[in-house]
Amino acid sequence: MNPTQRSAPRVVIALGGNAMTGPDGSAAPTAQRDAIREAAGHIAEVAAAGVEVVLTHGNGPQVGNLLVKNELAAQVVPPVPLDWCVAQTQATIAFTLTDELDAALAARGLSQRTAGLVTRTLVDADDPHFREPSKPVGRFLPKDEAERFIALGQTWEDRGEKGWRRVVASPEPKSVVDAPAIHALAASGFVVVCAGGGGIPVADDGRDGPGLRGVEAVIDKDLTAAILARDLDADTLVIATDVPNVMVDFGTPAARPLGRVTAAELREHAAAGQFARGSMGPKVDAVLRFIDRGGKRAVITSLEHIADAVSGDDAGTVLTA
């Protein structure tokens, strides 16, 4: 993975949920396809500029739906663990993305095509997050129904008026196990869709002999994107979200978008509590981690601006080393 062997710059783009679900957050198949078709056009523009594109994406609503199916069919067919659900969402989203991206690339006269890889992300079997599950997944249920699952070993939390919700471990991604395969595909000229939902969490816990095996957890997709960009020696990491820039003093008269920033400035804003924990926080964390680990350039912006954000410094919130 020597960058000097590459003729083209390489970018890792992390797509947010808005690129894959309907305006109402619906993960119904037609809503997903329509959203993905829209996103594909913007991504094809990046490829058209001669850039190697590696795409990753979230999967929250999709995993939630699969957990409900598991639950409602449990008396008839065996439920599958959470890591299997993550795998399932990788395939449906990758398959839709490859179809739509291939069409968008062809529409621009490009010969490049797309490949979707089933991707595993290494986590530490001793990660403290396994002892303190905190990531909410799936639907809200009344207390008495939640207790049925608690009896099976799951962790559920009282979320007030909406009811109870399952929480699962969200361990730190250590490396993307399949990064060498992603590199091989990107270097062969493919737009690569990979590490969906942060990757299928695997660990070497020794339970079934030596080797990596799936573990029940979900990984933050933006943190995995930072690891992926590092493992692939990407020139730029782009976190695509639903706003063109990171905002500070949001909701006050002093609200302003961040353009070019230094790591020190961004860290200061983060320390001041400027970024919400469940939304912009992990994205800011991801770009900082990438730069801290040797990355040169990271951008947070909206889908509409990703092509401009890759080619120049005038779009999005741009962090450089």
Which positions are catalytic? Answer: 17-18, 135, 221, 283
Asked if 211 is part of the footprint of a copy of itself (rule: CB under 8 A), the reply reads: yes
Asked if 228 is part of the footprint of a copy of itself (rule: CB under 8 A), the reply reads: no
Asked if 8 is part of the footprint of a copy of itself (rule: CB under 8 A), the reply reads: no
Q: Could you tell me which stretch among 6-14, 82-90, 148-156, 167-175 binds a copy of itself (CB under 8 A)? A: 82-90
Q: Could you tell me which stretch among 1-9, 95-103, 274-282, 297-305 binds a copy of itself (CB under 8 A)? A: 95-103
If binding means CB under 8 A, how many residues of this protein chain bind a copy of itself?
59
Angle between helices 280-292 and 221-231 (to 10 degrees): 20
State how far the Cα of 257 lies from the Cα of 238, in Å rounded to an integer. 17
Q: How far is the CB of 149 from a copy of itself (least distance, A)?
A: 15
| Residues 176 and 195 sit within 8 Å (Cβ to Cβ) | yes
Figure out which of the listed residues 2, 4, 24, 76 binds a copy of itself, where binding follows CB under 8 A. Answer: 76
Supply φ then ψ for residue 14, to 5 degrees.
-105, 115
Supply φ then ψ for residue 81, to 5 degrees.
-70, 170
- Classify burial at 41, counting beta carbons within 10 Å of its beta carbon; exposed 0-12, middle 13-18, buried 19 or more: middle
State how far the Cα of 3 lies from the Cα of 253, in Å rounded to an integer. 45
Asked if 23 is part of the footprint of a copy of itself (rule: CB under 8 A), the reply reads: no
Q: How far is the CB of 112 from a copy of itself (least distance, A)?
A: 11
SS3 139: strand
Region of residue 109 (phi > 0: left; psi between -120 and 50: alpha; otherwise: beta): left
285-304 burial code (b ≥16 CB/10 A, e <16): bbbbbbbeeebebbbbbbbb
Asked if 125 is part of the footprint of a copy of itself (rule: CB under 8 A), the reply reads: no
Asked if 255 is part of the footprint of a copy of itself (rule: CB under 8 A), the reply reads: no
- Classify burial at 177, counting beta carbons within 10 Å of its beta carbon; exposed 0-12, middle 13-18, buried 19 or more: middle
Between 208 and 277, CB nearer to a copy of itself: 208
Site map 171..200 versus a copy of itself, x via CB under 8 A: -------x-xx--xx--x-x--x------x
Between 42 and 269, CB nearer to a copy of itself: 42
Task: Say which amino acid occupies 64.
Answer: G
Judged by the rule CB under 8 A, the positions of this chain that interact with a copy of itself are 26-29, 33, 37, 65, 68-73, 76-78, 80-81, 83-84, 87-88, 90-92, 94-96, 98-100, 102-103, 106-107, 113, 115-118, 120, 139, 178, 180-181, 184-185, 188, 190, 193, 200, 202, 208-214
